[in-house]
Amino acid sequence: MEGSGSGHRAYGVVSGKGYNSNQRRYWNGAGSPESAPNVMGKDAETKRKKRIAKYKVYAVEGQVKATFRKGFRWIKNKCSQILHRY
């Protein structure tokens, strides 16, 4: 019996007006269209680039922290030299 209460969803390609023509949209039969699985790998490439950018930000943060530590250490040593008259 294939009635309305069977619980099966029909999937089909829906033309997306207003969307990029290269982007396919799939309709799950119940709500709004869902994004199609990315076959070309553009999404994976974007994620990789974002991940690498985050690594670079972390590296720069580490360099800035190290510079501040060295600067404070230098100030501390100079003040110590002045007080103890080295």
For the stretch 3-18, pLDDT in tens is: 555 555 555 555 555 5
CA–CA distance, 62 with 59 (Å, rounded to integer): 5
Please write the tens of the pLDDT for every residue from 3-59.
555 555 555 555 555 555 555 555 555 555 555 555 556 799 999 999 999 999 999
- Tokens encoding 18: 């207003």
**3-state class (DSSP) for residue 74:** helix
Mean pLDDT of 56-67: 96
Say what the pTM is: 0.43
Residue 14: which of 3, 25, 4, 1 has the closest Cα?
25
CA–CA distance, 57 with 65 (Å, rounded to integer): 12
Amino acid at 22: N
Exposure class string for 48-75: b at 16+ Cβ within 10 A, else e: eeeeeeeeeeeeeeeeeeeeeeeeeeee
Give yes or no for residue 75 having a pLDDT over 70: yes
Give yes or no for residue 1 having a pLDDT over 50: no
Higher pLDDT, 7 or 78: 78
